[in-house]
Amino acid sequence: MHPFSYTRAANTRQALDAGRAGGRYIAGGTTLVDLMRETVERPRTIVDISALPLREIMVTRRGGLRIGALVRMSEAAAHRGVRALYPVISQALELSASAQLRNMATIGGNIMQRTRCTYFRDVTAACNKREPGSGCAALHGVNRTHAILGTSDDCVATHPSDAAVAFTALEATVHLLGPDGERTVPFADFLLRPGSTPNREQALRKGELITSVEIPALPRPLQSGYLKVRDRQSYEFALTSAAVALHIRGGVIHEAKVAAGGVGTVPWKLPAVERELIGQRPSNVLWTKAAERAADGARPLRHNRFKVELLNGPSSANCAS
């Protein structure tokens, strides 16, 4: 670990001033500290924002939900309002990491976490995300866990967050505060696809701070859930996952919100699947037909073609390449 200075912000203004000067924000530290230990990240200044008042979970006037950036993952998962309105969020959080990490990690930090690509974390390997222009060792290396959607010739790493998949499906908004004031960014635009600049991962301006994530009000009744497929049942990242929310009235699906994780360079919204579902009556035949559209546009690599079949349905059971 390289030398760095540490400062603890007593209020939002101190945090923003330190961030504008180049400081890196830290709260739970469950990702950044690991990356610093592995010398992947080498910030000169760490700004502790854990004392800021960004810990509220509230139902909005229109019936949506707003979760403060410093709310712990375990707190959000257990919150009555979250569990009642959007169980898909609670389930995604509870399937993330270990209990110890969920007690430390924050919502803001969770969506800001960086990829678990082994080449990104190996400072001796070529990685455009870590060192622009150095190449992507995963393209022709061991890429079983890598992305099949949203990839580029410069990066094929997946985004690891489970909660971000639920936020993407529910079409959440990220609230930001920076030196120039407040602004909001649709969650779908907040996490950036790699393109030719994989080192730029979020639509943040210099010194900006995440203050909350807001989920819009959706029609009721709403049924939602999160399914995660992984190599083992505890403390493992997704090979693929799905966040689904359906508004069913009179036996017909009137609204569908669907996103997949573990397969994209960012949590992947599935509009083609949503279109297949809307206006239809739930049935096994419908689920199968809709799932066939989940991998539209996929570009599998040598070792992860099985992810296409995982996305497309239960026929994937025989694939483990």
**What pLDDT, in 10s, does the model give residues 287-320?**
999 999 999 999 999 999 999 999 997 643 333 3
Give the tens place of pLDDT for each residue, 132-149: 999 999 999 999 999 999
d(C-alpha 85, C-alpha 217), whole Å: 9
CB of 215 closer than 8 Å to CB of 65? yes
Vertex 152: Cα angle to 37 and 31 (nearest 5)? 20
* CATH numbers and ranges of domains, the chain: 1-52 (3.30.43.10), 222-318 (3.30.390.50)
Cα–Cα distances in Å, from 82 out to 77, 79, 179, 228?
7, 5, 31, 19
CB of 141 closer than 8 Å to CB of 124? no
pLDDT over threshold 90, residue 87: yes
Looking at residue 239, what DSSP letter applies? S
Burial label, 55 (beta-carbon count in 10 A; 0-12, 13-18, 19+):
middle
**Sequence-distant contacts of 127-135: CB under 8 A, at least 24 apart:** 128/154, 128/155, 128/194, 128/198, 128/199, 129/155, 129/157, 129/194, 129/198, 129/199, 129/201, 130/40, 130/199, 132/197, 132/198, 132/199
Between 321 and 301, the higher pLDDT residue? 301
Calculate mean pLDDT across residues 164-183.
Answer: 97
pLDDT of residue 317: 38
Burial label, 191 (beta-carbon count in 10 A; 0-12, 13-18, 19+):
buried
- pTM more than 0.85: yes
pLDDT of residue 235: 82
Residue pointed to by tokens 């120039």 = 180
Beta bridge partners of 224: 245
Among residues 113, 135, 114, which one has the least CA distance to residue 124?
135
Cα–Cα distances in Å, from 251 out to 86, 224, 248, 254, 283?
20, 16, 6, 9, 10
Can you give the length of the chain in residues? 321
Calculate mean pLDDT across residues 122-139.
Answer: 97
pLDDT over threshold 70, residue 231: yes
Give the tens place of pLDDT for each residue, 24-44: 999 998 899 999 999 999 999
- The DSSP code sequence of 123-166 is TTS-BTTTSTTS-BGGGGS--TTS-SBS-BTTB-PPP--SHHHH
Vertex 227: Cα angle to 224 and 233 (nearest 5)? 145
pLDDT of residue 313: 78
| Token pair listed for 310 | 């995982």
d(C-alpha 318, C-alpha 255), whole Å: 33
Calculate mean pLDDT across residues 186-192.
Answer: 97
| Token pair listed for 4 | 């760095």
Vertex 102: Cα angle to 238 and 19 (nearest 5)? 100
pLDDT over threshold 80, residue 267: yes
